[in-house]
RNA sequence: GAGCCAUUAGCUCAGUUGGAAGAGCACCUGACUUUUAAUCAGGGUGUCCCAGGUUCGAGCCCUGGAUGGCUCACCA
């Protein structure tokens, strides 16, 4: 026997792989005929005790006792113990078993029983190696803690950290419930382009790409809004799109360059209707998945039970930033107040932008919520309808949960002339150097000129909602493969 | 982009004042037919993130860099 390469479990396993092949075992096998999963065996033990079962899983632990051995096999939903004896499986197969490593995937067949200590176990009559693992698993007791490796090599995280599997299973259920909630209410799920010639629907910097044969630059979408509204123009009265959007901006515990949003549009509706949808959808998802509308996030309680309070943005600023903008009615005095509070302004900054800046900088994080903050300044809401009795503000709201903005919605702006002016305002900001300002979308204006019914629209940040429901502190904990810099 | 922190064995981590690189699990050798963080006997398997520097001597001190985390900035 060749001496082991010192210190290298990878090479040790490669040697075993070669030995297995020499001995005629196939280290990468065909599918195994299974009858049960680990969970089914554990759940139906009363019924299955004494009868034969077949299942497969990854070898996670083993306790060898000479001519017998205990081990745990893990499949998608759990682990179950197996018991092997040489006099049962045969000398040859037991020899194979002794060459197995933790991490290998095997299929087993045997009878269900309970050990002296009371653990449901399968007494193996035969087994088959399905997949040889060449790399060792992280430690069985502490799991994989290295955050960087958990993100970069999520497959290891999923193998050894049940909590991680729970988070992503729950994420999937949240999205499923969202779909059910909307389709049950007559919303039509649609798919609109991911590659845009004009990146619109939000104030954000887009990713730019290039189409060879068309010889044009294309943008990855920063929102689904403008295409969905075109569909409302076209006559679809209730639509939604659940999908990935991309923003070429900073990365933080609340921002990933690609993330998932759901946007919902309903004809002949307004932002009050969108508030109802938001609070009903979020609370019903929590109730269905977590069993309660009162959840815990990072050690604090968050009561999602509807109705959620509604507060005017200007009142929120008055309350939390202690500035009463109802008494400050022109740009000049607003800029003066901003300067007094250390909020940066330029000569052209307007009262509305300053009110919004006060809100973002001094109020948002204090909003544990849930709360709907409503009626935003028109300058920062270029796609929202103006309030009937105050054209400086719009019928827009954002929903805050645990200090995070999770929804943004408005009564949509359907007046094509006003929309054109708003775009022109954005374009002039863009020319002045604001590369996050909106671009002119002429076709969208044309669509509005054909006539869009009064419409309510809503966008929800799915990742942030999943963070709340899974009690995850970072958005990277709820995205399977978060954006990372290459290591080398 | 800035500040702070982290990076040591496959994994989780210790490493004192600058003086011969450690533990547990994993792994390797052997024993063991109901164990379960199995046990028992033996074995340390390492680019101390990278590159320089100071020093008789650097995991430790200094400079620069990489990646990650947190905070801030940025950002619907």
Residue A231 is classified by DSSP as: H
Here the tokens at position A138 are: 């992280």
Here the tokens at position A52 are: 């034969």
Query: How many angstroms is C1' of B41 away from CA of A96?
Result: 25
Structural domains of chain A sorted by starting position, each given as residue range(s) with its CATH number in brackets:
2-137 (2.40.50.140), 160-321+363-478 (3.30.930.10)
List per-residue pLDDT tens for chain A, 488 residues long.
233 333 589 989 999 999 999 999 999 999 999 999 999 999 999 999 999 999 999 999 999 999 999 999 999 999 999 999 999 999 999 999 999 999 999 999 999 999 999 999 999 999 999 999 999 999 898 999 999 999 999 999 999 999 999 999 999 999 999 999 999 999 999 999 999 999 988 988 999 999 999 999 999 999 999 999 999 999 999 999 999 999 998 899 999 999 999 999 999 999 999 999 999 999 999 999 999 999 999 989 999 999 999 999 999 999 998 899 999 989 999 998 888 888 878 888 899 999 999 998 889 888 998 999 999 999 999 999 999 999 999 999 999 999 899 999 999 999 999 999 999 999 988 888 888 889 899 999 999 999 999 999 999 999 999 999 999 999 999 999 999 998 76
pLDDT computed for residue A188 by the predictor: 98
User: What's the pTM?
Assistant: 0.93
Token look-up 């730019």 returns: A208
pLDDT computed for residue A24 by the predictor: 92
pLDDT computed for residue A3 by the predictor: 31
Query: How many angstroms is C1' of B22 away from CA of A244?
Result: 48
Query: How many angstroms is C1' of B58 away from CA of A142?
Result: 32
Beta bridge partners of A80: A73
**Nearest nucleotide (CA of A437 to C1'):** B76
**Nearest nucleotide (CA of A150 to C1'):** B68
**Nearest nucleotide (CA of A249 to C1'):** B75
Q: Is the dihedral of CA A211, A214, A219, A220 positive or negative?
A: negative
Chain B bases having any atom below 7 Å from a protein CB? 1, 9-13, 24-28, 31-39, 44-47, 66-76
Terminus-to-terminus CA distance in chain A, angstroms? 38
- How many CB atoms sit inside 10 A of residue A89's CB? 23
pLDDT computed for residue A488 by the predictor: 67
The per-residue b/e assignment along A448-486, b for 16 or more CB within 10 angstroms, e otherwise, is: beeebeebbbbbbbbbbbbbbbbebeebbbbbeebeeee
- How many CB atoms sit inside 10 A of residue A444's CB? 24
Separation between Cα atoms, residue A134 and residue A14, nearest integer Å: 6
pLDDT computed for residue A30 by the predictor: 96
**Nearest nucleotide (CA of A65 to C1'):** B32
Query: How many angstroms is C1' of B6 away from CA of A160?
Result: 23
Query: How many angstroms is C1' of B55 away from CA of A59?
Result: 51
Query: How many angstroms is C1' of B61 away from CA of A148?
Result: 28
Strands A208-211 and A216-220, how do they pair?
A: antiparallel
**Nearest nucleotide (CA of A461 to C1'):** B76
Here the tokens at position A129 are: 């190696």
Q: How far is CA A441 from CA A156, A170, A184, A198, A339, in A?
A: 45, 38, 33, 6, 35
- How many CB atoms sit inside 10 A of residue A372's CB? 23
């Amino acid at each position: 026997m060749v001496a082991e390469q010192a210190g290298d479990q990878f090479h040790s396993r490669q040697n075993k792989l070669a030995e297995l092949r020499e001995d005629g075992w196939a280290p990468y096998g065909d599918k195994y005929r299974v009858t049960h999963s680990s969970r089914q065996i554990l759940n139906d033990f009363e019924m299955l005790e004494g009868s034969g079962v077949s299942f497969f899983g990854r070898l996670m632990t083993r306790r060898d006792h000479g001519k017998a051995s205990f081990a745990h096999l893990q499949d998608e939903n759990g682990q179950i113990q197996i018991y092997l004896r040489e006099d049962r499986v045969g000398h040859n197969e037991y020899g194979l078993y002794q060459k197995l490593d933790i991490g290998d995937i095997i299929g087993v067949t045997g009878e269900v029983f309970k050990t002296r200590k009371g653990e449901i176990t399968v007494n193996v009559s035969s087994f088959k190696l399905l997949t040889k693992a060449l790399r060792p698993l992280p430690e069985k007791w502490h799991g994989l803690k290295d955050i960087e490796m958990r993100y970069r090599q999520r497959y290891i995280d999923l193998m050894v950290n049940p909590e991680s599997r729970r988070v992503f299973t729950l994420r999937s259920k949240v999205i499923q419930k969202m779909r059910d909630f909307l389709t049950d209410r007559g919303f039509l799920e649609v798919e609109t382009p991911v590659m845009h010639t004009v990146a619109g629907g939000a104030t954000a910097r887009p990713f730019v790409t290039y189409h060879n044969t068309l010889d044009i630059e294309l943008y990855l979408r920063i929102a689904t809004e403008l295409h969905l509204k075109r569909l409302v123009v076209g006559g679809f009265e209730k639509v939604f799109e659940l999908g990935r959007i991309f923003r070429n901006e900073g990365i933080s515990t609340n921002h990933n360059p690609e993330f998932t949003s759901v946007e919902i549009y309903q004809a002949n509706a307004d932002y009050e209707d969108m508030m109802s949808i938001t609070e009903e959808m979020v609370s019903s998802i929590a109730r269905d998945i977590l069993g309660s509308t009162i959840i815990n996030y990072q050690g604090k309680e968050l009561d999602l039970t509807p109705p959620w309070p509604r507060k005017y943005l200007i009142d929120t600023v008055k309350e939390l930033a202690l500035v009463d903008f109802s008494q400050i009615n022109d740009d000049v005095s607003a800029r003066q107040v901003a300067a007094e509070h250390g909020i940066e302004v330029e000569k052209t900054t307007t009262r509305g932008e300053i009110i919004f800046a006060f809100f973002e900088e001094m109020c948002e994080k204090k909003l544990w919520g849930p709360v709907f903050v409503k009626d935003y300044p028109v300058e920062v809401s270029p796609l929202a309808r103006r309030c009937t009795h105050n054209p400086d503000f719009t019928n827009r709201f954002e929903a805050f949960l645990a200090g995070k903005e999770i929804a943004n919605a408005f009564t949509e702006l359907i007046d094509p002339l006003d929309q054109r002016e708003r775009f022109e305002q954005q374009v002039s900001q863009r020319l002045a150097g604001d590369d996050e300002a909106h671009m002119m979308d002429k076709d969208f204006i044309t669509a509005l000129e054909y006539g869009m019914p009064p419409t309510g629209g809503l966008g929800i940040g799915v990742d942030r909602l999943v963070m709340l429901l899974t009690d995850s502190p970072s958005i990277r904990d709820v995205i399977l493969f978060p954006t990372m810099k290459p290591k080398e």
